[in-house]
Amino acid sequence: MATVTQMKCACESCLCIVSLSDAIEKDSKHYCSEACAEGHPNGHGDCGHSGCTC
């Protein structure tokens, strides 16, 4: 049985893969940043990871 340690950020338009140990968990979903977890209150493109325009 495999243990999942990484998954795609739960933000739909985000391209980031996040380690579950480092993820921000909100409503049982895992996000790469506070911006994604909060639904991008300041607009998209602010997750802080280069190359990602979520």
Residue 14 lies in a domain: yes
Does 54 map to a domain? no
Give me the residue label for tokens 């990484």: 6
pLDDT band at 29 (very low <50, low <70, confident <90, very high): very high
Mean pLDDT of 8-34: 96
Question: The whole model's pTM is what?
Answer: 0.86
The whole-angstrom separation of Cα 41 and Cα 44 is 8
Q: Please indicate, yes or no, if residue 23 is contained in any of the structural domains.
A: yes
Alpha-carbon span 27 to 53, nearest angstrom: 23
User: Is 90 exceeded by the pLDDT of residue 42?
Assistant: no
Number of structural domains the chain divides into: 1
Q: Write down the mean pLDDT value for the chain.
A: 92
d(CA 48, CA 28): 22
User: ∠ CA 22-42-49 to the nearest 5 degrees?
Assistant: 40
